[in-house]
Amino acid sequence: MPQVYFQSTGVEELLEDIEAVLMRDINQALDTVYQRREPSDVLRAQRRGVPYEAIKYDYVPPSHFHIGNFPSLVLEEVPPEAYPYIVITIEDYTPDQEDARSDHVNVYRQTLATHALAKALPEEGSDIVFRRAVRMGEAIYISLASDPHMQKLLSGLSNPVRGQHSIPWTYQHEGHGDKFWFQAVGTNYAIKSHTTSYQ
């Protein structure tokens, strides 16, 4: 497993640090989430009186990450074959009151926003795309919460401070191809970052 190194946390450096952790850990976290959910999936199939079929999922390769924009700004740039897809951005940031002992340090309170974009085949439908998106959001949380540096960086890490679910949507890419199902799950985290102009 490659080592991830951390430096000064300006916005750009901060997002790159988070991307490095997610690229390293997201797929192992996805395995963990799906294994944990399998007994519930079996029980749900029994309640509905249908044969159990394991929910299949794709790993997130390094090329399926995007920094700096919200999903609505990248959807048209992301073809169906690029899903699953993770967007990492800062939603807002404001100056934080500084400690007088650290007056050479700029302190910011920031809101990290992560968006997990999932896809399902037409025959799988909205139920499966919902579960894939939610499980990706949970895997993002596990990845961040399991990393020692992220534990220090993110405030209130017992849970994300906010979660958002999009409604499922379908569209044909440039008017062609199958009508895949898509859904996004966003999670927000509070971050305090420190920068300085002193070397």
The dihedral sign for the CA sequence 173, 175, 178, 180: positive
pLDDT in the model for residue 116: 92
**Percent of the residues in the chain that have a pLDDT greater than 70, as a whole number:** 68
The band of 142, judged by pLDDT with boundaries at 50, 70 and 90, is: very high
The band of 13, judged by pLDDT with boundaries at 50, 70 and 90, is: confident
Tokens for 56? 């299949």
Rounded to two decimals, the pTM is 0.81
The lowest-confidence range among 39-48, 85-94, 121-130 is 85-94
Q: Is the pLDDT of residue 1 over 70?
A: no
| Distances from the Cα of 38 to the Cα of 45, 130, 186, angstroms | 11, 15, 23
Alpha-carbon distance 66 to 74, whole Å? 9
Q: What is the DSSP letter of 75?
A: G
Alpha-carbon distance 64 to 78, whole Å? 9
Q: What is the CA radius of gyration of the chain?
A: 19
pLDDT in the model for residue 108: 65
The dihedral sign for the CA sequence 119, 191, 69, 196: negative
The band of 138, judged by pLDDT with boundaries at 50, 70 and 90, is: very high
Q: Is the pLDDT of residue 93 over 70?
A: no
Q: Is the pLDDT of residue 3 over 60?
A: no
pLDDT in the model for residue 125: 86
Dihedral (Cα; 180, 186, 73, 82), 10-degree rounding: -40
Q: Which residues contact 3 (CB under 8 A, 6 or more apart)?
A: none
Cα angle at 12 between 10 and 14, to 5 degrees? Answer: 65
Q: What is the DSSP letter of 167?
A: P
The band of 8, judged by pLDDT with boundaries at 50, 70 and 90, is: very low
Q: Is the pLDDT of residue 16 over 60?
A: yes
Q: Is the pLDDT of residue 197 over 70?
A: no
Tokens for 104? 């050479």
Closest to 177 (Cα-Cα) out of 85, 83, 86: 83
pLDDT in the model for residue 6: 40
Alpha-carbon distance 121 to 178, whole Å? 8
